Structure 1
Amino acid sequence: MPHCDVFELGFRVPAATYALLSRRQSEPVLKSPLFTSKTHTSDGIFDVHWIPNSASRVCFVCKDLFGVFRNRRHHCRLCGQLVCNPCSQARSFVRKSAPAVKLERTCVTCSGTLRQLASLGDTRVKLTTSSSPSKPHSASAAPAHALSTSHKATLRKYVVSAAWYASYKMSAIDKSQPLGPIANHSLLYFFQGRLHPKPSLSATDYHVLDPVDWLKLFSVYGGGPCITVPSNDVHNHIAWSIRFTTKPTKKTQIPEMINNHADIEPQSVPTADVERRTKARDAAAAFARAASLARREAEGLAMRKSMASLADFEDLRQSLNLGSRSSRYSTV
């Protein structure tokens, strides 16, 4: 196996959340060898349900077909999804005092989230080895979403860590205090391939912002993850939508000068898949135009040949008519 990214994890799964997720997934599915009530511990991040082999014929990440001898099925130990080998070359292990650890297969979707958390300074994730293994078949390793503050998005509010927001307020007073990126990871934990709000959160642990205020902070400081919640249910942690986002690609007007949230155009960063599909559509359109032009030219050439043939036939007919008249006159 080539060198790969190895993540040392220090997450602790809340027992209450684990029990709730276990009840939701009580249907019979293939389970990880670690998934037993006897072996479960509060840090059992690998205690996840595995998707049955029969549930899908394609890789969860790249959508390539599985085969018996080539492109075999594997399970990501963090999310339980069916993935191919090129899309699951990263490895993870739980931080323990014992010197011997077991490296567990990790898909690019989970490793992308872990990379993002590590880059934000999350002490629960440590990237111990970094390299460039063979790339997955398609899609980027970290699912990033473009930041949007369209009119529809204004129906939701944004959540920011109270600790980071306090540092932001302090930095406005003391300019010598450097402020890092938005650090919402302190409100979350990672389990089953997703980020979840901590069950112990209270309303004092975070601030709720309008979309324009969040856009202002995110455009300057970056970071994340981006946490949104319905405007009419801001303290319902179950309704949190959590994802990493990309920064806007062009400078945005300062929020104080904007009264209508719909005035802000959504920003987007094209992914490799989008660019590839766009190029394919352009190539197909160009081919169709060339084929149409060639067809019209061929039809025109055929028409000209047909007209020429008709003209030659008319000349021949007239010549035959003249010859016939001459022979009648000579007979008389």
Structure 2
Amino acid sequence: MKKRILLLAGGQSGEHEVSLMSARSVLAALPRDQFDVTPVVISKQGRWLSPTETQRAIESGSAPQGGDLVLHRAASAEGYDAVFPLLHGPMGEDGTIQGLLTLAGIPFVGSGVLGSAVSMDKVMTKQVLASAGIPQVAWRLAVRREWHDRPEVVRARAAELGYPLFVKPANLGSSVGISKVSRPEDLTRALDLAFHLDRRVILEAMTAHKPRELEVGILGNDAPVASPVGELRFSADFYDYETKYTEGRASMHIPAPVPTEVAERVRELALTAFRTLDCAGLARVDFFYVETTGDLFLNEVNTMPGFTTTSMYPKLFEAAGLSYSELVTRLVELALERR
């Protein structure tokens, strides 16, 4: 018999439109002879849309305001074998929807509450991975109240790291709210932007030399496997939102043209991070590689990476011999396996 799958898309984060693009690709790829898929779009206001509104949102790439205030039948566990929560960022990739589905007793694709929440929060990710000895760039934490009451303390932390540095909201994805700060006088603007989006902010040192950006995909539960290593190349100062989602601004190179020992080290560190954070199903792990020194630094772990047919994660496993359709099928199988 066909497995009934509930595909959730949209969501309340700044990556709402990215999620809808991912949903179109997954809907087209899940084999119809194996799965009966019901999509449901969550609006930016957190409302679960009707089937008609959902279809329009997926086709148009944007969800209307409105919808049911309460979760309708499509959002319940009744009648579904698994859920594919194709939601990026806060209120979707951070353990919130995973907690709801856990309470409902229904299997779902991806990491559980712990792995999702810890991986979404950059502060917790850094602290947990440091305990496992995984190399990361130097960083400092600042909180909104502290910036308001004692700005000199936050400025002192930035000075400890040196300029230029990066300012990042702790709980957002897709480079939203990130600023490169080259001079102390530019720090206020960057912090005000980041604190407008999150009450906790990361100050992050830059590497001594401009790094190359390497990415690797992880697939599996308790016996995960790593994909070939890919590299992102772009001319911008960093991989910001505009560069990420504007065609032609960045290029993927799979496999990454790096020494074999570097690629193997990236894969090894990515698998260690995946297990340490208690991830499941899938993740994309991003690294900085400083070619002149040979240093590798883990940048971040994405537990629900972009999932269009041209996104890095599917492309990494395509290079390993797994087609897009086979990949999404395997992810549903892994969700059911965890039951």
Structure possessing the higher radius of gyration over alpha carbons? 1
Q: Same fold (TM over 0.5)?
A: no
Calculate the TM-score normalised by the size of structure 2: 0.27
Higher relative contact order (CA 8 A, sep 6+): 2
Calculate the TM-score normalised by the size of structure 1: 0.28
Looking at secondary structure, tell me which structure has more strand per residue: 2
